[in-house]
Amino acid sequence: MKEILILRNGRVLDPGASLDAVKDIWIRDGIIVNPGKGMPESAEIVDVSGCWVVPGLIDMHVHLRDPGEEYKETIESGCRAAAAGGFTGVACMPNTNPVNDNGSVTRYICEEAQKAGFAHVYPVGAISQGSRGDKLAEYGEMKAAGAVAFTDDGLPVHDSQLMRRAMEYSLSHGSLIMSHAEESSLSRGGCMNEGETATRLGLQGIPNAAESIMVYRDIVLAELTGARVHISHVSTAESIELIRQGKARGVGVTAESAPHYFMLTEEAVTGYDTHAKMNPPLRSQKDLEAVRHALTDGTLDAIATDHAPHSVLEKDVEFNYAANGIVGLETALSLGLSLVREEVISPLRLVELMSTSPARILAVSGGSLAVGSPADITVIDPDKKFVFDAQKSFSKSANSPFSGWKLQGRAVLTLLGGKVTHRELSAP
């Protein structure tokens, strides 16, 4: 790479600066710098006319499966998929094997991510030892090794006293608690949303209350302790209303939802498609509309993928026995852009949801194009049309309900500290 890289004539979108303007971005030694006078002979110029130039996308909820289930995903393959999707940073959940509940596993994740070099990886440590929900894990050790938050994601923390202690403990470490909100005595045995569709298909349903009860508990505990709590993969209208009320009271609660909850309903399960099986399950049209509205009014702070790779061994089975989850890193941006085309949200709001807010909530670098910032940048062609083929993705798994969909808009250049990690633009 030449000394200076110039992204020329792009539509620069930077929510932190309320900036939406056509301009050039100059990068020197991996840092965004002020444009100089004249065009240096040493500059590499990339014409990005017609494209958006935005702070690198940050996904605050992915499963990289490494260590332990590398046949589904490795840290390297997950980071390649992230870069292809326009992400420069991902926060990975601790439900690996072994569980990321100690400094050794956290350090392993950081070291493998450093070797791969395609994205920043922010490990999220377990709330409890082994995510068993009975004893707190060692937060200080994990934080010293690089953990940015704590959760037992994949499993709820049943014991309210333990969750209270986790929040109190997080305060002394200045860390975030992420909540997998599920009352499992209500969800046990269920495999899709509770309602008419489940009855018609003869499948046991999971009621909205299985999520909202625990959302209520964790907001109340955050209010009691003064801790920050982030509600993961929100799927129901009731949960959204509880989050809205909590924010109005000044509780330190933030929340995310995922593209499948604003693009699909429980009807996607018809035909017993295991690629539509996830936890929490796809919900009703009313819930989908509530998620979309909450993305506009600020109740939801972030769009995350809950990228959950599974092989055919876990998905090509009867619906009841199939694993939950889908891959999402390479479709999230395109699906988010559909909300912009439908005028549900503005371009700046989309960038805020997928970059600026996740950086703020996780307290990591990024989410900004300010001079002096690392050049973690995503260039998006909002008009580029393509058919997504999960079998050709960079992930090692292909469990996506969006495979075969005609999509519009994707990342065509991803820079990590000025280094190209994904490129579909022609070379200058």
Q: Active-site positions?
A: 306
CA 279 vs. chain centroid, Å, equals 15
Beta bridge pairs of residue 422: 414
Asked whether residue 164 is marked as a ligand-binding residue, the answer is no
Burial of 194 (0-12, 13-18, 19+ CB in 10 A): buried
Q: What is the C-alpha separation between 314 and 396, in angstroms, rounded?
A: 14
Q: What is the C-alpha separation between 318 and 123, in angstroms, rounded?
A: 33
Asked whether residue 61 is marked as a ligand-binding residue, the answer is yes
Q: Are 347 and 13 in contact (CB under 8 A)?
A: yes
Asked whether residue 208 is marked as a ligand-binding residue, the answer is no
- Exposure string of 38-59, with b = 16+ CB inside 10 Å and e = fewer, is eeeeebeebebeebbbbbbbbb
Reduce the DSSP state of residue 358 to 3 states and report it. Answer: helix
Q: What is the C-alpha separation between 356 and 304, in angstroms, rounded?
A: 12
Asked whether residue 233 is marked as a ligand-binding residue, the answer is yes
Q: What is the C-alpha separation between 387 and 390, in angstroms, rounded?
A: 10
The torsion angles phi and psi of 162, rounded to 5 degrees, stand at: -65, -40
Q: What is the C-alpha separation between 1 and 420, in angstroms, rounded?
A: 9
Asked whether residue 64 is marked as a ligand-binding residue, the answer is yes
Asked whether residue 310 is marked as a ligand-binding residue, the answer is yes
Asked whether residue 63 is marked as a ligand-binding residue, the answer is yes
**Beta-sheet strands, E only, within 176-221:** 176-179, 192-193, 205-206
Q: What's the distance, Cα to Cα, between the start and end of the chain in Å?
A: 12
Asked whether residue 180 is marked as a ligand-binding residue, the answer is yes
Kindly tell me the sign of the dihedral angle through the C-alpha atoms of 57, 59, 62, 68. positive
Asked whether residue 306 is marked as a ligand-binding residue, the answer is yes
Burial of 424 (0-12, 13-18, 19+ CB in 10 A): middle
Reduce the DSSP state of residue 59 to 3 states and report it. Answer: strand
Query: Which residue ranges make up the annotated binding site?
Result: 61, 63-65, 95, 153, 180, 233, 279, 306, 310
Query: Which residue ranges make up the annotated binding site for Zn(2+)?
Result: 61, 63, 153, 180, 233, 306
Query: Which residue ranges make up the annotated binding site for substrate?
Result: 63-65, 95, 279, 310
